[in-house]
Amino acid sequence: MNAVVLDHITKTYDAGKVLAVDDVSLQVAAGELFGLIGPDGAGKTSIFRILTTLLLPDKGHAAVNGLDCVKDYKAIRRSVGYMPGRFSLYQDLTVAENLHFFATLFGTTIEANYSLIKDIYEQIKPFSGRRAGKLSGGMKQKLALCCALVHKPEVLFLDEPTTGVDAVSRKEFWEMLKTLKQQGITIVVSTPYMDEAVLCERIALIQDGRIMSVDTPAKVVAAFPVKLYAVKAADIYRLLTSLRGDNSISSCYAFGEYVHVTFRDEAAHDLQAWQQTLAAQGHEQVEVKIISPSIEDSFIRLMQEKQNAQP
């Protein structure tokens, strides 16, 4: 069964002036760890708010566990956990008080479902008397996750849970999600970090309210239609400027210390000859290689294809 269904969902704001979600359809299977991947303003929060019954769509239907997000909102609210992008915690309440508060809201107790949160809560238990406002980002994130889990939800919605959190806490967080998944919970998580996409079973790449691709991370990357090259030189800015002036190049963008390049034609490009051409143009310490695309490369490619398709 599908745990989450979006069927041609559209959402606008400001009397239709802002199109936040544009005819989105997708399904998440029960027990899946599904990622909604896209930059700020892509429409991720709007989708989460529709699925958690906090926002009405303009058009389309949405369902969670077979329940309609409009008609069955009360039943959905009981059966889902939601960790909003900006922390949902009460800053003046302590760690223990926050957790107790959320348990009481759902008519349960911390003890009733303690096995589900135990591994996560044990990590913040030494600070149980500390006010939430005085916790580090990583600890707030763990507490917010415990609060979203305390009523044992069947589906967990996590909106950018790792934004603003340090690298170690991010890694730990994804480990926790894997454990929760093993316990049968369906997880829908959004992130602007493309490197986190590979940690999901399936992903939807979203931009300007539209889904550009839905598949496993491996298949999204495998669908990259052309060869991808990485070029570097001592002066990366100068290199980028001269590559942008080359008509045979279809796309080029800075990517870490390299520039990623695709060509208009798929003829074999002699790496050595290209390196020599760039050196003859005055570029120093030139390095050219063929690379495998990442999710971010796929995202950029799909975005460009979308832009090119626009009239």
Ligand X SMILES: Nc1ncnc2c1ncn2[C@@H]1O[C@H](COP(=O)(O)OP(=O)(O)OP(=O)(O)O)[C@@H](O)[C@H]1O
* Best CA proximity match to 27, nearest among 54, 57, 1: 1
Helix/strand/coil for 101: helix
Residues 70-129 touching ligand X, rule: CB under 6 A, are 85
Determine the size of the site formed for ligand X (CB under 6 A).
Answer: 14
Residues 154-173 touching ligand X, rule: CB under 6 A, are 160
What are the φ and ψ backbone dihedral angles of 183, each rounded to 5 degrees? -90, 10
Neighbouring C-beta atoms of residue 168, cutoff 10 Å: 9
DSSP conformation letters of 150-189: TT--SEEEEESTTTT--HHHHHHHHHHHHHHHHTT-EEEE
By CB under 6 A, which span of 44-52, 149-157, 223-231, 235-243 interacts with ligand X?
44-52
Cα 244 from Cα 187, distance rounded (Å): 41
* Best CA proximity match to 161, nearest among 20, 6, 33, 284: 33
69, 144 Cβ separation under 8 angstroms: no
Tell the smallest beta-carbon distance from residue 122 to ligand X (Å). Answer: 30
Nearer to ligand X, 21 or 228 (CB): 21
Q: Is 45 in the site for ligand X (CB under 6 A)?
A: yes
Q: Is 265 in the site for ligand X (CB under 6 A)?
A: no
Q: Is 38 in the site for ligand X (CB under 6 A)?
A: yes
The residues near 219 (Cβ < 8 Å, ≥ 6 apart) are: none
Q: Is 44 in the site for ligand X (CB under 6 A)?
A: yes
Nearer to ligand X, 150 or 200 (CB): 200
Taking CB under 6 A as the criterion, the residue among 25, 40, 171, 219 binding ligand X is 40
Pull the structure tokens for residue 139: 């600890």
Q: Is 16 in the site for ligand X (CB under 6 A)?
A: no
Taking CB under 6 A as the criterion, the residue among 8, 18, 270, 289 binding ligand X is 18
Alpha helices in the chain (DSSP H): 44-51, 73-79, 95-105, 114-124, 137-149, 167-182, 217-222, 236-244, 271-280, 295-309
Nearer to ligand X, 43 or 293 (CB): 43
Q: Is 56 in the site for ligand X (CB under 6 A)?
A: no
By CB under 6 A, which span of 33-41, 66-74, 96-104, 292-300 interacts with ligand X?
33-41
By CB under 6 A, which span of 13-21, 177-185, 248-256, 264-272 interacts with ligand X?
13-21
Residue type, 29: A
Q: Is 57 in the site for ligand X (CB under 6 A)?
A: no
Q: Is 191 in the site for ligand X (CB under 6 A)?
A: no
By CB under 6 A, name the binding residues for ligand X. 13-14, 18, 20, 38, 40-46, 85, 160
